[in-house]
Structure 1
């Protein structure tokens, strides 16, 4: 069984992403293991894990993500979630769903966010959570992020009302920051009560495996890593003849025009300068990732990752 591929892990609460990598490494007896998209220890859900040579492909995965989260109003914490010290607590029974609905459009589209003080963002070579734990306060520039969708799933009124949301967003978006800023806009205070990542890098929670399910599959010799082709579908693909396959493995830059003239091009391939392409041989074996480099006279396929 090949171990070069991906694992769609359903991360449990209480573990860091690094902890998850270590446990997968031990279970599979594999040295090369990496993850795509860090999750806070309290957050559950999809954590893409790359195995073996597939660790080199993490940079080529899709960047969009989706979450299910709960925002609790009336609370402000040091970490913008329930893991941190409570800075302010005030019942807000007057807060209504209608007020929340009117405020949500401010958080859809391209927006600016200040990362939470306790986050992995680096300033001066140190992560914000390291500085925050030392009591150091630093100024962090706002970051441009994009939120594609905010859908209300449920609303529970009371002294500390709670809002359940489905969120689809681009890379780098902090859901904790949305909870904090929405609470501030409503003059109520807000913090993230719980969060589950439902989609990441082309992986969905519906097809994810818990550690218990992974262990059972390994015991029954049924575990099969997800192949690169299953998660790189956002990239075009090109098939090489045996001659060009040999040259590919030698690290040569290949003429696109000759390849297209002699061999089929698949998956609605649209070639432009800087396009990234999956590369396969005629037996549909994944050979790596190439980049199209275009000049005034020709276009070539330059190897980026050779499997």
Structure 2
């Protein structure tokens, strides 16, 4: 459940900002950067604090979790989560950028069979090495790689290990190939499309990319920006998920009222629970999400915590509904 706290006093001539806690699933439109999309929604909500859980390129559409208030403390978990995409590749043509915005480098005939395509796709399942593309936001000496690329420069990049958890053919109509991929953080689907094209012997570039999942979150319930722009702030808030949405797939640890205060002060607690790198912790009331922790040798070790004020605000909002 989202939470709205009292308004923050505005500067003269400005509308007051509000402290809003929750996660909004945005279906990001084509051509807009993730930060631009975030700032548009933030202005509509007049939200005091906001962030997003995983960048999408302007040429990509789909799931962009927006975090407000206390939820921003857990945005990093969204960045680190596995992602799911639908990607459309143009076969037979390679470009300078690996997508439709680049100049054509080479064209080759496309002579494929379904068996050959499926065999090529299988090669990329599991851990693979990827060389980050020059047209990416990855930093080198403080500058994004795309800045070097725009200046006509190419710098050496080290291959990085990523994991393709699932990869399947969705559609093939001769010169266009659509795939669905679930992958680890840091995977460049544009590079994956290029590499599949080379494995097929005809080359390829990416023409469309849509994110369909991020961790436990999916496109179900995501809302288009144009819909939000036609709605009021209250209607936008009504679409928000709880602060703990980004960790909804993690095991639950529940503490007593006495243990809750000590945990929120950052103290370790002894519990009977298997070791786990990430659990979500609640107080005695079901809505009382306290934060995240890890469990090691019977110790509950706090990681990211809500403040007591935030916990009380969530409980107040739950009980007042």
Fold similarity call, TM over 0.5: yes
Report if aligned partners of 2:170, 2:180 keep a CA contact under 8 Å in 1: yes
Cα deviation, 1:136-178, whole Å, max 9, x if unaligned, reads 1111111111112221111111xxx111111111111111111
- Distance across 1 between alignment mates of 2:110 and 2:256: 68
TM-score by length of 1: 0.86
After TM superposition, list the pairs within 5 Å mapping 1:73-84 onto structure 2.
Answer: 73-84=91-102
Is contact 2:228-2:236 (8 Å) kept? no
Deviation at 1:242, TM superposition (A): 2.0
| Partner secondary structure for residue 23 of structure 1 | helix
- Structure-2 change in CA distance of 1:93 and 1:180 (3 Å): closer
Distance in 2 separating the partners of 1:37 and 1:221: 24
CA 1:281–1:96 in structure 2 vs 1: closer, same or farther (change >3 Å)?
same
CA distance in 1, matches of 2:220, 2:269: 41
RMSD: 2.0
1:242 match: 257
For residues 83-162 of structure 1, the aligned pairs below 5 Å read: 83-90=101-108, 92-157=109-174, 161-162=175-176
The Cα of 1:51 is off from its aligned counterpart by 0.8
Distance in 2, matches of 1:198 and 1:221, equals 24
Which residue, out of 34, 53, 69, partners 1:52? Answer: 69
TM (normalized to structure 2)? 0.83
> For the Cα contact (< 8 Å) 1:214–1:223, is it kept in 2?
no
Quote the residue 1:169 is aligned against.
183
Equivalent residue in structure 2 for 1:291, among 280, 290, 294: 294
Aligned residue-pair number: 287
Distance 1:254 1:72, change over 3 A: same
Displacement of 1:126 in angstroms is 1.8
Q: Select which of 239, 246, 256 maps to 2:270.
A: 256
In structure 1, list runs of 5 or more residues that go unmatched.
261-269
The gaps in structure 2 that reach 5 residues or longer are 5-19, 308-321
